[in-house]
């Protein structure tokens, strides 16, 4: 009896030690991962705030030179968020089209005829390039859970030549592969999309269909193909090094900041020039529209290089 | 013998499993933050107030208006600064001992900094926070007492330090810059007060307590005087209604706080509740209380909103981020409000001087 209980207790002790070790290791790995990411990923910054002093019409022309085509990949189950996106931020794209896995009665969409996200993505890029390659110079792809501020995207793209192969967003690393996370939105320049489409279909390098066995996500798949075409992912940051494409919502960032740095919650949260947030609900899309395009403090004036007029037929801004 | 050693192994494994589980639970409690589940709150009674209401705290020092202006190089805050000097607002925040760390702290970290003077009012003094002690009891029924005493305190100590006197709850988010814009058209010597106007019970209407309300200097003087002469008494514990009744008795006008397009500026709920059609059910009291025709959806809320209510700590910071930080670059807002005439002259002076870089000193004076 005594030997059994002592054996049991020894087991408890071992279990606890093992658990502590694992937790510590986990934290170390996380920290290491963070540090590693910081030194090894590639990043691209927003233009410096005081760049050009331009005349009024020059500013208008410059603003019009960014033509952004938005690709939003949807499935029937996304129909509520789809509705919100359609009525809110998508109106700020120069053109926005919804690419769905199948025909949905309620809304107009381009039917990709497949449930496979990677195939949907690939076909959508091909469609966009074939049809609109000569009309748009930047291609922004998102899911309906994402909220985007296209004006801030255009500001970020200032001084970036679209005939260069740009592939931007919130990047993550999977082994050696640096890829843009689809949750934060993916930005491709016309050159990148051209290269993507001129790739021959070599299953090992750039598969036609998604691999069901390994379940590689579509954003990683895209990175693999683009890499093969000589296009590399870059993490987009503002002049202070903060991410401008975000895979989380404002609320999540705030909650994290309240825990991690409670004395600098808003300062530590997110970029002033944030382009995307992800994980929003239907209601939050409308709150963001109001918060971004309406709600502001009187008496705070900005002298911006670009000029964007409100869009037509848009109630929420 | 073999079965005994199996038993031993089993015992040992059980022990390690138990140890592992217990330890991981302990560690997760110690290390992880608590997840807040926010239930959607529909407040069934317009006069429902926060259950844990408490004491008063002493005076709060003035905060630096430009606390984060240095972050934004391309931001010009001259007009906002000018208004700060011209339209002096003293804010007092209704709170209590249990809520100082839970709620009032976040008010202090966000919008309270922008008042010309801010005071946290509690039933009990707290020198550290700091908070004023009003020497009342705790509880919902004490709200009007606290209000009366708070205004009395403000009147006795700070009457000359401000032109307008704003009352807010510790779950109200106030955008001071927009309040100053609203009030800049009015004269603090006039007997008037502003807030979210409700129509029942009081002929001229009364202002919702939670959405916050602001009294002119004259209104404050009359209010305090009224209690000295018994023109007004502690007639009920429903703070906003009782105050509204008193205002009518003493001939303080219930002002129209809507913006120049008719949109409401003081809000009794968070933006989501007003922006989403159907969020507030048709049977909800709100639809019958609003003085002006209530609007849901995008027309609900002014670009220059002044307040929101039932704002939890997370939402305080979110609003702070949305109002003072995140913006659409280069966007020409649809609503382009103007400054009142008397301010326009001074502002055009600012812009003239920007080019010449002369006489910048009085305008650029920082408030310490």
Q: How many angstroms separate the CA atoms of B356 and A126, rounded? A: 55
Q: Can you tell me the distance from the alpha carbon of A167 to that of A51, in angstroms, rounded to the nearest whole number?
A: 23
Candidates A255, A295, A304; nearest CB to B322:
A295
CB B267 within 8 A of CB B308: yes
CB of B36 within 8 A of CB of B105?
Answer: no
Q: Which residue of B has its CA nearest to A51?
A: B74
Nearest to B75 among A50, A257, A300 (CB): A300
Please count the residue pairs, one from chain A and one from chain B, whose beta carbons lie less than 8 angstroms apart: 231
More confident residue, B22 or A51: B22
Give the Cα separation of B102 and A165 in Å (integer).
50
Average pLDDT of the residues in B188-194: 98
Render pLDDT for B44-95 as a digit per residue (tens, 0 to 9).
666 655 543 333 333 333 333 334 444 466 899 999 999 999 999 999 999 9
Render pLDDT for B23-58 as a digit per residue (tens, 0 to 9). 878 877 776 544 433 334 556 666 655 543 333 333
Mean pLDDT of chain B: 85
Tokens of A124: 């959508």
Predicted pLDDT at A28:
60
Q: Could you state, in chain order, the average pLDDT of each consecutive group of 10 residues for chain A (317 residues)?
A: 78 84 69 46 62 77 94 95 97 97 92 92 95 96 98 94 96 95 97 91 69 75 93 94 96 97 93 97 98 97 92 85
pLDDT value for B350: 56
B325 chain-A contacts, CB cut-off 8 A: 266, 269-270, 272
Confidence grade of residue B140 (pLDDT, cut at 50, 70, 90): confident
> What's the confidence (pLDDT) of residue A41?
54
How far, in Å, are A232, B62, B82, B215, B257 from residue B181 at the CA level?
49, 21, 11, 15, 11
Q: B206-207 and B117-122 as β-strands: parallel, antiparallel, unpaired? A: unpaired
Structure tokens at A31: 């920290």
Name which of B36, B75, B274, B327 to mutate to probe chain A: the one with the most chain A Cβ atoms within 10 A of its Cβ. Answer: B327
Contact status of A56 with chain B (Cβ, < 8 Å): no
What confidence tier does B128 reach under pLDDT thresholds 50, 70, 90? Answer: very high
Of B53, B72, B8, B117, the closest CA to residue A5 belongs to B8
| pLDDT of the residue at A149 | 98
Would you state the pLDDT for residue B52? 37
Predicted pLDDT at B54: 34
Token pair listed for B241: 């209604």
On the question of pLDDT at B367 being above 80, the answer is no
Work out the pLDDT band at B2, boundaries 50, 70, 90: low
CB-nearest to B334 from A273, A300, A310 is A310
């Amino acid at each position: 009896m005594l030997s059994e209980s002592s054996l049991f207790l020894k087991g408890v002790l071992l279990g606890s030690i093992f658990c502590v070790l694992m937790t510590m290791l986990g934290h170390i790995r996380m920290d290491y991962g963070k540090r590693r990411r910081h030194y090894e990923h590639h990043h691209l910054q927003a233009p410096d705030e005081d760049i050009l002093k331009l005349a009024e019409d020059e500013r208008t022309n410059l603003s019009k030179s960014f033509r952004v085509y938005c690709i939003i990949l949807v499935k029937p189950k996304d129909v509520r968020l789809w509705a919100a996106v359609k009525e809110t931020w998508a109106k700020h794209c120069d053109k926005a089209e919804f690419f769905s896995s199948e025909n949905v009665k309620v809304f107009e969409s381009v039917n990709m005829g497949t449930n496979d996200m990677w195939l949907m993505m690939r076909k959508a890029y091909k469609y966009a390039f074939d049809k609109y390659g000569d009309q748009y110079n930047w291609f922004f792809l998102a899911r309906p859970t994402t909220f985007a501020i296209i004006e801030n995207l255009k500001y970020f793209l200032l001084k970036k030549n679209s005939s260069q192969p740009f592939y931007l967003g919130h990047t993550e690393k999977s082994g050696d592969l640096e890829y843009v996370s689809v949750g934060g939105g993916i930005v491709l320049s016309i050159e990148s999309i051209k290269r993507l489409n001129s790739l021959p279909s070599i299953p090992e390098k750039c598969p036609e269909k998604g691999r069901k066995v390994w379940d590689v996500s579509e954003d990683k798949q895209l990175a693999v193909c683009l890499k093969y075409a000589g296009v590399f992912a870059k993490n987009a940051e503002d002049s202070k090094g903060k991410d401008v494409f975000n895979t989380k919502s404002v609320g999540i960032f705030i909650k994290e900041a309240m825990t991690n740095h409670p004395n600098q919650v808003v300062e530590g949260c997110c970029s002033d020039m944030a382009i995307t947030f992800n994980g929003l609900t239907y209601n939050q899309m409308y709150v963001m529209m109001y918060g971004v395009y309406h709600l502001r403090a009187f008496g705070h004036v900005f002298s911006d290089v670009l000029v964007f007029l409100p869009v037509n037929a848009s109630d929420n801004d | 013998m073999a079965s005994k050693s199996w038993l031993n192994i089993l015992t040992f494994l059980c022990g390690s499993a138990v140890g592992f589980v217990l330890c991981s639970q302990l560690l997760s409690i110690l290390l992880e933050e608590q997840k807040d589940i926010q239930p959607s709150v529909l407040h069934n009674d317009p006069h429902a107030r926060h259950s844990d209401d408490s004491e008063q705290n002493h005076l709060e020092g003035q905060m630096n208006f430009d606390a984060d202006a240095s972050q934004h190089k391309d931001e010009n805050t001259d007009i906002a600064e000018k208004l700060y000097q011209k339209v002096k607002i003293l804010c007092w925040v209704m709170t209590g001992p249990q809520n100082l760390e839970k709620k009032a702290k976040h008010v202090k970290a966000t919008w309270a900094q922008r008042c010309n003077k801010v005071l946290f009012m509690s039933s009990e003094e707290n020198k550290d926070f700091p908070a004023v002690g009003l020497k009342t009891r705790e509880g919902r029924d004490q709200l009007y007492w606290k209000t009366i005493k708070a205004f009395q305190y403000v009147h006795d100590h700070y009457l000359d330090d401000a032109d307008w006197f704003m009352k807010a709850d510790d779950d109200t988010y106030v955008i001071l810059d927009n309040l100053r814009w609203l009030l800049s058209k009015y004269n603090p010597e006039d007997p008037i007060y502003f807030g979210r106007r409700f129509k029942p019970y009081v002929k001229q209407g009364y202002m919702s307590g939670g959405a916050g309300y602001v009294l002119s200097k004259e209104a404050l003087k009359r209010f305090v005087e009224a209690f000295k002469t018994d023109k007004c008494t502690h007639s009920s514990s429903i703070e906003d209604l009782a105050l509204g009744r008193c205002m009518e008795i003493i001939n303080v006008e219930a002002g129209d706080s809507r913006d120049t397009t008719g949109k409401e500026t003081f809000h009794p709920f968070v933006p989501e509740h007003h922006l989403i059609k159907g969020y507030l059910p048709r049977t909800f009291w709100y639809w019958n209380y609003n003085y002006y025709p209530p609007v849901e959806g995008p027309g609900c809320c002014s670009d220059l909103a002044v307040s929101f209510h039932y704002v939890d700590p997370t939402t305080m910071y979110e609003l702070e981020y949305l109002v003072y930080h995140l913006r659409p670059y280069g966007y020409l807002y649809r609503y382009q409000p103007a400054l009142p005439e008397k301010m326009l002259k001074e502002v055009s002076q600012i812009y003239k001087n920007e080019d010449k870089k002369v006489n910048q000193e009085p305008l650029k004076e920082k408030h310490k």
